[in-house]
Amino acid sequence: MADERDKELLKLFRDPSSRNLAFSELVNLYQERLYWHIRRIVIDHDDADDVLQNTFIKAFRNLENFREDSQIYTWLYRIATNESISFLKSKKRNIFVSLDDVSHALSSKLEADPQLSGDAIQLKLQKAILTLPTKQRMVFNMKYFEEMKYEDMAEVTGTSVGALKASYHHAVKKIEAYMKQQF
């Protein structure tokens, strides 16, 4: 259900004279959170910027028809999640490699990421997360890093709360096993 801030933004967006101002405010509100959500999925900064831009383009094109049966926040996360998955599938198709090879390439990018240099435990955690299947990785990232509620995650992913809890549990167990092997 849309909250009061969402309703005000939508009202401003639906008025042609204030549309750009409303969308600019929406971007300012959610840009950083969406960037990090996307970045945890696609790993690379430049790729995350591209996916984020595509997310906001889709949002701009479709916001006028937003039904208000969810929050704008969860709607944007769903778009970002779908765009991220599409990006990874496209990348996989374009380079004709297995998903394991894509994960290995993403892992190599992690090692070169200046934001993680010097933090060996964080790097190992990120590598462990990359070993997860895509859905488990997204569920883990949303719960662990973004502290998203299962109900909001259900809106984002279109998955039941029970299935999300199971995915998170399995992801945690796999990450624990990976980390034990590394130490």
Segment holding 183, helix H or strand E: none
62 has pLDDT over 60: yes
Q: What is the domain-level CATH number for residue 142?
A: 1.10.10.10
Q: Is residue 72 very low, low, confident or very high in pLDDT (cuts 50, 70, 90)?
A: very high
Residue 90 sits in which domain range?
A: 1-96
117 has pLDDT over 60: no
pLDDT at 2: 61
Segment holding 50, helix H or strand E: helix 45-62
- Please name the residues in contact with 99: beta carbons below 8 A apart, sequence gap of 6 or more: 92
Shared-domain flag, residues 92 and 178: no
Q: How many domains is the chain built from? A: 2
C-alpha to C-alpha distance for 85 and 103, rounded to whole angstroms: 13
pLDDT at 122: 75
Shared-domain flag, residues 106 and 28: no
Task: Look at the pTM and tell me if it is higher than 0.85.
Answer: no
C-alpha to C-alpha distance for 83 and 53, rounded to whole angstroms: 10
102 has pLDDT over 60: no
Shared-domain flag, residues 65 and 10: yes
**Nearest CA-CA partner of 102 in 142, 133, 145:** 133
Shared-domain flag, residues 5 and 89: yes
Shared-domain flag, residues 3 and 58: yes
